[in-house]
Chains A and B, each alone.
Chain A
């Protein structure tokens, strides 16, 4: 009887321990799981996925001088996931001497776009106006996407710095999707789907997308049908692309922390469920007694 009581008390303490952990302890543990691999890297190998390889090859297949559209469809909230994709894509484009027409469908996008464009352009010695142009933000994404199929100059009468687009050399050569072999959107929302529907569906524009992890899972059906030529999913997608480009950046650097944090969260789920089942069993036994 005494043994049984002792065992009950021990199991009760275990249940208590497993089910009543202060959330701040969980916060601290997850912070350590992310911080430690950043300070002491494990260098886990990154293997490019099929979708990331398709994204890379879509850009790789273009010829020097070709013009691409690059849409920065995100705000600072997701820049940790998407900035590595944008920077890697711009580096890839400028390395191949592609010319870039950049824009954003988000009001918080211009600051992000300028920072990435200026950094990549400086690294590869590219000039605004001839090698790239930033059109800025336009309200109403669907109207913008459709209007660009007719005329980019009419969609954006001036660029971000209020220069008339009719006077920009790059836009005199490329003024609609018909003149552009590839459109890239790096996005944190359903805008990838809308580019596919309106630029891809109505005007036959070839599209590749960089997506946040949350959005990437929704994009698979479009890739399977060929409406999308390739895509990157989350920071892992960025790391895969950096690996293909052989230009390591913050994507690859973050992969150890990403792995450790995921492992820890799986452990949390397991421990939480062990506590749950023990509690349920104890409640049943209590009921039976």
Chain B
């Protein structure tokens, strides 16, 4: 028996151990669950270390002698102060640096790509469009506008504002319905993957 065959048998056993939860909670499931947490954490931490510490800090600083990377390592080390309640405040410098940097480059990009370009895409281009396209474009315009009215909380939703926001809710419900349909699709696909493994891959590897 080679390593791949042994691995496939083990993978099938663990797959069944996880599926056993469907009957009820049991020690096989709990063993598999805890092993998964441990192995995953071990797998991740190796990649965290080799990418963040070796690749992005040690290699550029000590091999390429790019000293501009040194502050990154120091900021990273500040995170370790979180391990003690008394020194936790030191890590705030690293957190503030990280979150503020993200905020800084997020603002222009989000405004441009998630707001302005989307508004541009909602304005109907009616010249030369087919009747179907015109209807579609108008539905899009009404939908986006009424949903934004629904999210407008600076005034009480009464009268026209209430009617418009109710149209917005209708669009949102259709959107949630589509999400629900796709969610079912995604979950079923994951099950198909495991059954393909159990019913097709395992017998193939075992020569059944």
* A–B direct contact (CB < 8 Å): yes
Interface residues in A, total, Cβ within 8 A? 58
Contact A108 B40 (CB under 8 A): yes
Q: Given A27-B22, A35-B199, A38-B195 in contact, is the A213-B56 Cβ separation under 8 Å?
A: no
In the complex, what residues of A have CB within 8 A of residue B135's CB?
A: none
Q: Given A24-B23, A157-B59 in contact, is the A250-B196 Cβ separation under 8 Å?
A: yes
Mark the stretch among A3-11, A58-66, A230-238, A279-287 that contacts chain B. A230-238
Q: Is the CB of B92 closer than 8 A to any CB of chain A?
A: no
Q: Is the CB of A68 closer than 8 A to any CB of chain B?
A: no
Contact B182 A213 (CB under 8 A): yes
In the complex, what residues of A have CB within 8 A of residue B54's CB?
A: 158, 162
Most chain A beta-carbon neighbours within 10 Å: one of B118, B193, B199: B193
Q: Is the CB of A210 closer than 8 A to any CB of chain B?
A: no
Q: Which of A79, A158, A262 contacts B55 (CB under 8 A)? A: A158
Q: Is the CB of B60 closer than 8 A to any CB of chain A?
A: yes
Q: How far is the CB of B17 from chain A (nearest CB, A)?
A: 16
Most chain A beta-carbon neighbours within 10 Å: one of B40, B51, B59, B190: B51
Contact A139 B52 (CB under 8 A): yes
CA distance A78 to B106 in the complex (A): 28
Q: Is the CB of A257 closer than 8 A to any CB of chain B?
A: yes
Q: Is the CB of B206 closer than 8 A to any CB of chain A?
A: no
Q: How far is the CB of A80 from chain B (nearest CB, A)?
A: 2
Contact B51 A136 (CB under 8 A): yes
Q: Is the CB of A186 closer than 8 A to any CB of chain B?
A: no
Contact A38 B196 (CB under 8 A): yes
Contact A110 B47 (CB under 8 A): yes
Q: Is the CB of B205 closer than 8 A to any CB of chain A?
A: no
In the complex, what residues of A have CB within 8 A of residue B43's CB?
A: 107-108, 111
Contact A265 B184 (CB under 8 A): yes
CA distance A157 to B65 in the complex (A): 12
A interface footprint on B105-134 (CB within 8 Å = 1, 0 otherwise): 110011011100110110000000000000
Q: Is the CB of A216 closer than 8 A to any CB of chain B?
A: yes
Contact B48 A225 (CB under 8 A): no
Q: Is the CB of B44 closer than 8 A to any CB of chain A?
A: yes
Q: Is the CB of A229 closer than 8 A to any CB of chain B?
A: no
Q: Is the CB of A212 closer than 8 A to any CB of chain B?
A: yes
Contact B190 A80 (CB under 8 A): yes
Contact B191 A200 (CB under 8 A): no
Interface size class for chain B? 35 or more
Q: Which of A108, A137, A146, A218 contacts B51 (CB under 8 A)? A: A137
Q: Is the CB of A138 closer than 8 A to any CB of chain B?
A: yes
Q: Is the CB of A95 closer than 8 A to any CB of chain B?
A: no
Write the chain A residue with the least CB distance to B40.
A108
Most chain B beta-carbon neighbours within 10 Å: one of A107, A157, A227: A157
Contact A216 B109 (CB under 8 A): no
In the complex, what residues of B have CB within 8 A of residue A38's CB?
A: 192, 195-196, 199-200
Q: Which of A136, A137, A198, A265 contacts B109 (CB under 8 A)? A: A198
Q: Is the CB of B102 closer than 8 A to any CB of chain A?
A: yes
Contact B193 A80 (CB under 8 A): yes
Q: Which of B55, B186, B190, B200 contacts A157 (CB under 8 A)? A: B55
Q: Which of B56, B105, B113, B186 contacts A214 (CB under 8 A)? A: B186
Which residues of chain B (83-107) have a CB below 8 Å from chain A?
102, 105-106
Q: Is the CB of A197 closer than 8 A to any CB of chain B?
A: yes
Which residues of chain A (221-269) have a CB below 8 Å from chain B?
221, 224-225, 227, 233-236, 250, 253-254, 257-258, 261-262, 265
Contact A142 B186 (CB under 8 A): no
Q: Given A24-B23, A138-B51 in contact, is the A225-B118 Cβ separation under 8 Å?
A: yes
Q: How far is the CB of A29 from chain B (nearest CB, A)?
A: 12
Q: A136-B55, A214-B182, A261-B192 are in contact. List 11 more A-B contacts (CB 8 A).
A: A31-B191, A38-B196, A81-B189, A83-B193, A108-B40, A111-B43, A139-B52, A158-B59, A213-B183, A224-B121, A253-B196
A-B contact pairs, 15 of them (CB 8 A): A27-B22, A107-B48, A137-B47, A157-B56, A193-B114, A196-B113, A198-B109, A212-B186, A214-B183, A214-B186, A221-B118, A225-B121, A258-B188, A261-B191, A261-B192
- Name A residues whose Cβ lies closer than 8 Å to a Cβ of B: 24, 27, 30-31, 34-35, 38-39, 77-81, 83, 107-108, 110-111, 136-139, 142, 146, 156-158, 162, 164, 193, 196-198, 200-202, 212-214, 216-218, 221, 224-225, 227, 233-236, 250, 253-254, 257-258, 261-262, 265
9 closest A-B pairs by beta carbon, nearest first, are A80-B193, A213-B186, A225-B121, A235-B189, A213-B185, A201-B113, A107-B44, A213-B182, A254-B192
